[in-house]
Amino acid sequence: MDIDPVELNKLRQAHVALQGDLKAMLPALQQPLAIGEWQQRVGELKALHAWRYDHPGQPIYAPLLLKQLSERMPANTVVTTDVGQHQMWSAQHMTFERPENFITSSGLGTMGFGVPAAVGAQIARPQDTVICVSGDGSFMMNVQELGTIKRKQLPVKIVLLDNQRLGMVRQWQQLFFDGRYSETNLSDNPDFLTLASAFDIPGQRITRKDQVAEALDALLNSDGPYLLQVAIDELENVWPLVPPGAGNETMLEKVS
Protein backbone atom coordinates (compact mmCIF):
# COMPACT_ATOMS: atom_id res chain seq x y z
CA MET A 1 0.00 0.00 0.00
CA ASP A 2 1.38 3.38 -0.96
CA ILE A 3 0.04 6.76 -1.96
CA ASP A 4 2.78 7.04 -4.58
CA PRO A 5 2.20 4.64 -7.51
CA VAL A 6 5.91 4.73 -8.35
CA GLU A 7 6.69 2.91 -5.09
CA LEU A 8 4.39 -0.03 -5.82
CA ASN A 9 6.27 -3.19 -6.86
CA LYS A 10 9.52 -1.24 -6.68
CA LEU A 11 11.51 -3.76 -4.66
CA ARG A 12 9.17 -6.74 -4.47
CA GLN A 13 6.44 -7.87 -6.83
CA ALA A 14 3.23 -7.78 -4.78
CA HIS A 15 0.35 -10.16 -5.31
CA VAL A 16 -2.01 -7.26 -4.62
CA ALA A 17 -0.80 -3.65 -4.76
CA LEU A 18 -3.05 -0.84 -3.52
CA GLN A 19 -2.44 2.81 -4.32
CA GLY A 20 -4.21 5.53 -2.39
CA ASP A 21 -4.62 7.39 0.88
CA LEU A 22 -4.57 5.12 3.96
CA LYS A 23 -7.29 7.21 5.57
CA ALA A 24 -9.67 6.13 2.83
CA MET A 25 -8.35 2.63 2.20
CA LEU A 26 -8.15 1.22 5.72
CA PRO A 27 -11.88 1.59 6.48
CA ALA A 28 -12.62 -0.16 3.20
CA LEU A 29 -10.33 -3.03 4.16
CA GLN A 30 -12.20 -3.44 7.45
CA GLN A 31 -15.39 -4.47 5.69
CA PRO A 32 -16.11 -8.17 6.37
CA LEU A 33 -15.77 -10.52 3.44
CA ALA A 34 -18.37 -13.05 2.36
CA ILE A 35 -16.61 -16.25 3.37
CA GLY A 36 -19.51 -18.68 3.52
CA GLU A 37 -18.38 -20.56 0.41
CA TRP A 38 -14.83 -20.80 1.74
CA GLN A 39 -16.04 -22.05 5.13
CA GLN A 40 -18.12 -24.70 3.41
CA ARG A 41 -15.09 -25.86 1.44
CA VAL A 42 -12.99 -25.99 4.61
CA GLY A 43 -15.66 -28.13 6.24
CA GLU A 44 -15.64 -30.51 3.28
CA LEU A 45 -11.85 -30.85 3.46
CA LYS A 46 -11.96 -31.47 7.21
CA ALA A 47 -14.51 -34.22 6.70
CA LEU A 48 -12.54 -35.73 3.82
CA HIS A 49 -9.24 -35.71 5.68
CA ALA A 50 -10.53 -36.33 9.20
CA TRP A 51 -8.05 -37.95 11.57
CA ARG A 52 -8.76 -41.50 12.59
CA TYR A 53 -7.90 -42.43 16.16
CA ASP A 54 -9.10 -46.05 16.03
CA HIS A 55 -5.58 -47.46 16.10
CA PRO A 56 -5.57 -51.28 16.31
CA GLY A 57 -4.06 -53.32 19.12
CA GLN A 58 -2.73 -52.39 22.55
CA PRO A 59 0.34 -50.28 21.64
CA ILE A 60 -0.05 -46.62 22.57
CA TYR A 61 -0.89 -44.34 19.65
CA ALA A 62 0.85 -41.02 20.30
CA PRO A 63 -1.69 -38.75 18.51
CA LEU A 64 -4.55 -40.25 20.53
CA LEU A 65 -2.64 -39.93 23.81
CA LEU A 66 -1.96 -36.24 23.13
CA LYS A 67 -5.61 -35.68 22.23
CA GLN A 68 -6.64 -37.32 25.51
CA LEU A 69 -4.11 -35.20 27.41
CA SER A 70 -5.48 -32.08 25.75
CA GLU A 71 -9.03 -33.00 26.77
CA ARG A 72 -8.02 -33.64 30.40
CA MET A 73 -5.63 -30.77 31.13
CA PRO A 74 -6.88 -27.52 32.72
CA ALA A 75 -8.02 -24.86 30.25
CA ASN A 76 -5.11 -22.50 30.88
CA THR A 77 -2.37 -25.14 30.73
CA VAL A 78 0.90 -24.15 29.08
CA VAL A 79 2.41 -26.81 26.81
CA THR A 80 6.00 -26.65 25.62
CA THR A 81 7.62 -29.04 23.17
CA ASP A 82 11.01 -30.10 22.03
CA VAL A 83 11.68 -30.83 18.35
CA GLY A 84 10.67 -33.92 16.42
CA GLN A 85 7.64 -36.07 15.72
CA HIS A 86 6.18 -35.34 19.16
CA GLN A 87 6.26 -31.63 18.29
CA MET A 88 4.24 -32.19 15.11
CA TRP A 89 1.73 -34.43 16.87
CA SER A 90 1.29 -31.88 19.67
CA ALA A 91 0.49 -29.14 17.17
CA GLN A 92 -1.92 -31.40 15.29
CA HIS A 93 -3.82 -33.05 18.11
CA MET A 94 -3.82 -30.66 21.08
CA THR A 95 -6.05 -27.60 21.43
CA PHE A 96 -5.35 -24.43 23.39
CA GLU A 97 -7.45 -21.61 24.82
CA ARG A 98 -4.87 -18.95 23.93
CA PRO A 99 -1.95 -18.91 21.48
CA GLU A 100 0.60 -18.19 24.21
CA ASN A 101 -0.34 -21.48 25.87
CA PHE A 102 1.57 -23.42 23.20
CA ILE A 103 5.31 -22.71 23.27
CA THR A 104 7.37 -24.42 20.60
CA SER A 105 10.43 -23.50 18.57
CA SER A 106 8.56 -24.21 15.31
CA GLY A 107 10.98 -24.79 12.44
CA LEU A 108 14.15 -23.68 14.20
CA GLY A 109 15.12 -27.26 15.01
CA THR A 110 16.21 -26.56 18.58
CA MET A 111 16.25 -29.99 20.20
CA GLY A 112 16.41 -29.53 23.95
CA PHE A 113 14.12 -26.48 23.94
CA GLY A 114 11.18 -28.06 25.74
CA VAL A 115 12.33 -28.53 29.34
CA PRO A 116 14.04 -25.12 29.74
CA ALA A 117 11.00 -23.46 28.13
CA ALA A 118 8.75 -25.26 30.61
CA VAL A 119 10.94 -24.05 33.48
CA GLY A 120 10.58 -20.45 32.29
CA ALA A 121 6.84 -20.81 31.73
CA GLN A 122 6.31 -22.28 35.20
CA ILE A 123 8.27 -19.46 36.86
CA ALA A 124 6.33 -16.87 34.85
CA ARG A 125 2.96 -18.51 35.52
CA PRO A 126 3.21 -20.33 38.86
CA GLN A 127 -0.57 -20.66 39.15
CA ASP A 128 -0.94 -22.61 35.89
CA THR A 129 -0.18 -26.20 34.93
CA VAL A 130 2.89 -26.49 32.67
CA ILE A 131 3.51 -29.61 30.59
CA CYS A 132 6.56 -30.36 28.47
CA VAL A 133 5.98 -32.84 25.64
CA SER A 134 9.32 -34.30 24.62
CA GLY A 135 10.92 -37.18 22.79
CA ASP A 136 13.71 -39.42 24.00
CA GLY A 137 16.21 -37.76 21.64
CA SER A 138 15.40 -34.17 22.56
CA PHE A 139 15.03 -34.92 26.27
CA MET A 140 18.68 -35.95 26.54
CA MET A 141 19.82 -32.63 25.10
CA ASN A 142 18.98 -30.70 28.28
CA VAL A 143 18.21 -33.39 30.82
CA GLN A 144 20.39 -31.58 33.38
CA GLU A 145 17.57 -29.03 33.74
CA LEU A 146 15.80 -31.56 35.92
CA GLY A 147 18.18 -30.17 38.51
CA THR A 148 16.68 -26.71 38.03
CA ILE A 149 13.19 -28.14 38.40
CA LYS A 150 14.21 -29.77 41.68
CA ARG A 151 16.14 -26.75 42.98
CA LYS A 152 13.33 -24.32 42.23
CA GLN A 153 10.67 -26.84 43.32
CA LEU A 154 8.73 -26.37 40.09
CA PRO A 155 5.71 -28.63 39.44
CA VAL A 156 6.57 -29.10 35.74
CA LYS A 157 4.99 -32.19 34.15
CA ILE A 158 6.93 -34.04 31.44
CA VAL A 159 5.34 -36.37 28.88
CA LEU A 160 8.20 -38.28 27.27
CA LEU A 161 7.23 -40.05 24.04
CA ASP A 162 9.84 -42.78 23.81
CA ASN A 163 10.26 -44.57 20.47
CA GLN A 164 13.99 -45.21 21.00
CA ARG A 165 14.69 -43.31 17.81
CA LEU A 166 15.40 -39.87 16.45
CA GLY A 167 11.93 -40.21 14.98
CA MET A 168 11.74 -37.35 12.50
CA VAL A 169 15.18 -38.11 11.07
CA ARG A 170 14.36 -41.82 10.89
CA GLN A 171 11.12 -41.01 9.04
CA TRP A 172 12.99 -38.95 6.44
CA GLN A 173 15.58 -41.70 6.03
CA GLN A 174 12.76 -44.19 5.49
CA LEU A 175 10.84 -42.11 2.96
CA PHE A 176 13.54 -40.23 1.07
CA PHE A 177 16.76 -42.21 1.50
CA ASP A 178 15.54 -45.74 0.73
CA GLY A 179 15.60 -46.81 4.36
CA ARG A 180 19.33 -46.20 4.79
CA TYR A 181 19.21 -45.52 8.52
CA SER A 182 22.13 -43.75 10.13
CA GLU A 183 22.60 -42.65 13.75
CA THR A 184 18.88 -42.69 14.57
CA ASN A 185 18.72 -45.77 16.84
CA LEU A 186 18.50 -44.78 20.52
CA SER A 187 17.80 -48.23 21.94
CA ASP A 188 20.66 -47.75 24.42
CA ASN A 189 18.90 -44.86 26.18
CA PRO A 190 19.31 -44.61 29.96
CA ASP A 191 16.54 -45.59 32.34
CA PHE A 192 14.59 -42.34 32.34
CA LEU A 193 12.64 -43.09 35.51
CA THR A 194 15.84 -43.82 37.42
CA LEU A 195 17.31 -40.63 36.02
CA ALA A 196 14.29 -38.62 37.18
CA SER A 197 14.33 -40.26 40.60
CA ALA A 198 17.89 -39.01 41.08
CA PHE A 199 16.32 -35.55 41.13
CA ASP A 200 13.46 -36.69 43.41
CA ILE A 201 11.02 -36.53 40.50
CA PRO A 202 8.45 -39.36 40.54
CA GLY A 203 6.98 -40.93 37.46
CA GLN A 204 5.89 -44.06 35.65
CA ARG A 205 6.34 -45.84 32.34
CA ILE A 206 3.39 -47.10 30.31
CA THR A 207 3.32 -49.41 27.29
CA ARG A 208 -0.39 -50.14 26.62
CA LYS A 209 -3.33 -47.98 25.65
CA ASP A 210 -5.43 -49.29 28.56
CA GLN A 211 -2.92 -47.62 30.91
CA VAL A 212 -3.23 -44.17 29.37
CA ALA A 213 -6.23 -42.70 31.21
CA GLU A 214 -4.98 -43.59 34.69
CA ALA A 215 -1.46 -42.42 33.86
CA LEU A 216 -2.65 -39.04 32.57
CA ASP A 217 -4.72 -38.54 35.71
CA ALA A 218 -1.67 -39.33 37.86
CA LEU A 219 0.39 -36.83 35.88
CA LEU A 220 -2.15 -34.02 36.11
CA ASN A 221 -3.02 -34.65 39.76
CA SER A 222 0.58 -34.69 40.98
CA ASP A 223 1.42 -31.79 43.30
CA GLY A 224 5.01 -31.51 42.14
CA PRO A 225 7.02 -32.42 39.04
CA TYR A 226 6.24 -35.69 37.29
CA LEU A 227 7.68 -37.73 34.43
CA LEU A 228 5.38 -39.89 32.31
CA GLN A 229 7.41 -42.10 29.98
CA VAL A 230 5.27 -43.40 27.12
CA ALA A 231 6.55 -46.27 24.97
CA ILE A 232 5.37 -45.78 21.38
CA ASP A 233 5.91 -47.58 18.09
CA GLU A 234 9.40 -46.90 16.72
CA LEU A 235 8.04 -46.90 13.14
CA GLU A 236 5.07 -44.55 13.66
CA ASN A 237 5.24 -41.64 11.22
CA VAL A 238 3.88 -38.11 11.15
CA TRP A 239 1.30 -37.27 8.47
CA PRO A 240 0.82 -35.21 6.41
CA LEU A 241 4.39 -34.48 5.36
CA VAL A 242 5.83 -32.10 2.77
CA PRO A 243 8.69 -33.77 0.86
CA PRO A 244 12.02 -31.93 0.66
CA GLY A 245 11.99 -29.22 -1.98
CA ALA A 246 8.23 -29.49 -2.52
CA GLY A 247 5.34 -27.15 -1.84
CA ASN A 248 2.34 -27.65 0.42
CA GLU A 249 0.18 -28.59 -2.56
CA THR A 250 2.25 -31.78 -2.99
CA MET A 251 2.25 -32.94 0.62
CA LEU A 252 2.14 -36.65 1.36
CA GLU A 253 -0.92 -37.84 3.30
CA LYS A 254 0.40 -41.30 4.02
CA VAL A 255 2.83 -43.77 2.52
CA SER A 256 2.21 -47.42 3.35
* pLDDT one-digit tens code per residue, 12-46: 899 999 999 999 999 989 989 899 999 999 999 98
CATH number of the domain at 162, please.
Answer: 3.40.50.970
Residue 118 lies in a domain: yes
Instruction: State percent of the chain over pLDDT 70.
Output: 100
> What range does the domain containing 123 cover?
58-231
The C-alpha atoms of residue 133 and residue 77 are separated, in whole angstroms, by 12
The pLDDT tens digits for 120-175 are 999 999 999 999 999 999 999 999 999 999 999 999 999 999 999 999 999 999 99
Q: What is the residue-wise DSSP string for 174-227?
A: HHHSTT---S-B-TT---HHHHHHTTT--EEEE-BGGGHHHHHHHHHH-SS-EE
Residue 80 lies in a domain: yes
Average pLDDT value over all residues in the chain: 95
Residue 216 lies in a domain: yes
The pLDDT score that the predictor gives to residue 256 is 60
State the total domains in the chain.
1
Residue 151 and residue 175 in contact, taking contact as beta carbons nearer than 8 Å: no
Residue 15 lies in a domain: no
The SS3 of residue 107 is helix
Residue 215 lies in a domain: yes
Type of residue at 48: L
The pLDDT tens digits for 209-235 are 999 999 999 999 999 999 999 999 999
Lowest mean pLDDT among 47-61, 67-81, 154-168: 47-61
